[in-house]
A and B are shown apart, each in its own frame.
Chain A
Amino acid sequence: MIVELSVQIHSMGVFLPVNGKIENFKARKLIPDRKSIKLMTRSVQLGVAAASVALRATNVWQSISPSRRGIFVSAAPCLDDHFDLQSALRAAHQDGHFSLERFATNGMSLIHPLWLVRGLSNNILGFTSSMWDFQGENMNYCQGYLGGKHAFIQTARAIEEGRLECALVGGADVLTGAEEIYQKECAEAAVFFVLGPSKDAMRIDLEHVQSLVDTQPVMGAAGWLAALHRSLEKPTI
């Protein structure tokens, strides 16, 4: 199936894995607000950094009112929240079992106040919008790799319908170490595009993009967008 979207890609920020990992990733070099980095999980850092790379690569958005700049993201909640809990869980240990009472009395104080916030799926959207002043229409999807497809198409529709003049769209995820779950090679990735209106339709072959998804490592929320990026490298239409 071919989908036609009256948008153009002005720039992109892409981190794709080599052997599952993104090598030499330096969040402090790429994310403008360094103080907030410590509040971000790795997937959020990757997403915010990829968005920042895309935005630095074009100035098309700078003359547009922040209210007319949109942001659509595909992301997953951060599963690392469990690892943020390990000290508290250790403190809840009693005779080899978990004790809710000990957890309440000894464990809770060991949990970072922003534990919940760090795990939210919409952190990439929240941090990126505040760093780059994007105040327009927005959406955050949690739909596995298909979240990226929803995000990309809905961004284009918002631009086509005149609700936005430009938009940032992308996704990021970290699935390294999840091979046991998916029974397949897993990886981390982040892909962001800056989109704007176009008289000429961009044509995406959804089946071709899906075929690329099927042949790449599992990249979670970034998977479809990574495949789209690959399809753009070797256009088939």
Chain B
Amino acid sequence: MQGKKNDIWITGIGIICSAGSGYDHFCSALQSHRIFSSPADSSLPVEQLAVVPSPIKAIADFPNDRKSWLAMDAAAQAFSDAGYPQGVLSIFMGTGLSSITPRQMEEDLFPHIRDGRFDRVAMAKDLDVSKVGPRRNLPHRLVEHLKGVYEAKGRCATNFSACAAAAQAIAEGYRVLKRGESDIAMVGGHDSMAHPMGLLSFVVLGALSNSFCRPFDRSRNGFMLGEGSAVLILERAEHARSRGAKPYAKVVGTGSSVDAWNVTAPHPNGEGAEKAMHRALRDASLDSSEIGYINAHGTGTPIGDEAESKAISRVFGDSIPVSSIKGAFGHCIAAAGAIEAVASVAAIEKGCIWGTVGLEEKDDFSINAQKEPQEKSVKYVLSNSFGFGGQNCSLIFGAV
């Protein structure tokens, strides 16, 4: 197996999303080029949701915490897929806001309203790990749990950068390994906001489409909410090689930036996105012409796609194929960057540029937006993730 000593390999992948569970299943889903969604409950303000179709294994210590269950599933898949590597392990997971579910409202919050206001004292008395959202939903509980399960002795942290969280977590794992602080890093993201309160959050912001997500399409009107988790095992090449592990691909560069513009809207010209992509290229010591495919953030919102297209056009011109997988699997919010990282790795491994489900009539953007999947060998893939708060992160993956 080729590869430099200080390369960072991807030796394990776990994924669960609306297409189902497992890397092979996800690759088949990408190749099938269709929407993986199901009709939403009629009481909800959207028609479709991209939710995990099968029951998820519940974890007793995390009652009603669907997004943590997803992450534990993906983490177990990834660690097993990597062959249970031994060594100093770090863990970085991107997570999102724990919107309270209707069940939590019913059980935890509603009983504590007295005379129209929350009775903080009564509520506080109920605050233990098994009851009431705030304590149960502390964002770092998952990483603390994974630390114990996988006996992680390296650095462990929870990244909260809205929709860029998982990409930021992958970037952090990459840096820790590059410095030699760990042998292995478990990185990724998880989220599940496909419930009434989560939906409400995005409906009031005007970010959701009432039907399907159409990235880069002239008629795009927002995203379809998804859920899921993806976890990658990153490993120093030297360490992986010594135990005979085979890589899917390698991480070759990362770049982050802040728009410094507006907490809920991207810079209209995508200046922050452009900086993140430039930094990732510089970090990877690559010229923009060496990128074979761009997996866009591509949420299907009118402003977001326009800003990203402008940025891509300035950095890469209009010839490199660009697509978004959010039309197929929805926007998985804090997990999106990890799920799209897996799609990027799969593009390299399977020799295929993924299409953009939902794209019918391209808007007037100066990018090469791909409608259909196309078999093509690619050496380097760039994946974008941008979040509320103006945080941007670009990752570059390469063939080994």
A binds B: yes
Q: Which A residues have a C-beta under 8 Å from some C-beta of B?
A: 39, 66-67, 71, 75-77, 79, 81-83, 85-86, 89-90, 92-93, 97-98, 100-101, 103-104, 108, 111-117, 119-123, 125-127, 129-130, 132-144, 146-147, 150, 154, 157, 163, 177-181
Question: How long is the Cα–Cα vector from A114 to B388 in the complex, in angstroms?
Answer: 12
Given contacts A82-B118, A126-B388, A138-B161, list 14 more A-B pairs with CB under 8 A.
A39-B263, A71-B258, A77-B98, A83-B118, A89-B113, A98-B102, A111-B200, A117-B263, A122-B391, A129-B260, A137-B255, A142-B140, A143-B140, A181-B124
Question: How long is the Cα–Cα vector from A113 to B206 in the complex, in angstroms?
Answer: 9
Q: Cβ of A143: which chain B residues have Cβ within 8 Å of it?
A: 139-140, 143, 156-158
**Number of A-B pairs, beta carbon distance below 8 Å:** 187
Chain A residue at minimum C-beta to C-beta distance from B197:
A85
Say whether A130 contacts B135, CB under 8 Å. no
Say whether A86 contacts B118, CB under 8 Å. yes
Q: Cβ of B43: which chain A residues have Cβ within 8 Å of it?
A: 100-101, 104
How many whole Å from A85's CB to the nearest CB in chain B? Answer: 7
Say whether B390 contacts A130, CB under 8 Å. yes
Say whether A142 contacts B204, CB under 8 Å. no
Say whether B257 contacts A140, CB under 8 Å. no
Residue count of chain B within 8 Å CB distance of chain A: 64
- Near A by CB (< 8 A), chain B positions 179-220 give 179, 196, 200-202, 204-205
Q: Cβ of A136: which chain B residues have Cβ within 8 Å of it?
A: 257-258
Cβ proximity bits B120-137 to A, threshold 8 Å, 1 near / 0 not:
110011010000011101
Question: How long is the Cα–Cα vector from A179 to B205 in the complex, in angstroms?
Answer: 34
Q: Please classify the interface of chain B as helix (H, G, I), strand (E, B), loop, or mixed, using the class held by over half of its residues.
A: mixed
Say whether A180 contacts B127, CB under 8 Å. yes
- Whether B29 sits at the interface, judged by CB under 8 Å, is no
How many whole Å from A236's CB to the nearest CB in chain B? Answer: 24
Q: Cβ of B137: which chain A residues have Cβ within 8 Å of it?
A: 77
Say whether A121 contacts B139, CB under 8 Å. yes
Set A77, A82, A135, A181: member contacting B160, Cβ < 8 A: A77
Say whether B160 contacts A137, CB under 8 Å. no
Say whether A67 contacts B275, CB under 8 Å. yes
Say whether A86 contacts B116, CB under 8 Å. yes
Say whether A135 contacts B257, CB under 8 Å. yes
- Whether B117 sits at the interface, judged by CB under 8 Å, is yes
A104, A112, A116, A144: residue with the most chain B Cβ atoms closer than 10 Å: A116
Question: How long is the Cα–Cα vector from A116 to B203 in the complex, in angstroms?
Answer: 10
Say whether B391 contacts A125, CB under 8 Å. yes
Say whether A119 contacts B97, CB under 8 Å. yes
Question: How long is the Cα–Cα vector from A129 to B175 in the complex, in angstroms?
Answer: 23
- Given A120-B162, A123-B263, A142-B140, answer yes or no on A135-B258 (Cβ-Cβ < 8 Å): yes
Question: How long is the Cα–Cα vector from A136 to B279 in the complex, in angstroms?
Answer: 10
How many whole Å from A237's CB to the nearest CB in chain B? Answer: 22
Q: Cβ of A93: which chain B residues have Cβ within 8 Å of it?
A: 110, 113
29 intermolecular pairs with C-beta atoms under 8 Å apart: A39-B263, A66-B260, A77-B98, A82-B133, A85-B109, A86-B117, A90-B113, A104-B43, A113-B205, A116-B97, A116-B99, A116-B204, A117-B264, A120-B97, A120-B389, A122-B387, A126-B389, A129-B260, A130-B260, A133-B260, A137-B255, A138-B257, A139-B172, A140-B161, A140-B389, A141-B158, A141-B160, A142-B159, A181-B127
Q: Cβ of A81: which chain B residues have Cβ within 8 Å of it?
A: 97, 100
Say whether B201 contacts A134, CB under 8 Å. no
Q: Cβ of A178: which chain B residues have Cβ within 8 Å of it?
A: 124
Set A137, A138, A142: member contacting B139, Cβ < 8 A: A142
- Whether B305 sits at the interface, judged by CB under 8 Å, is no
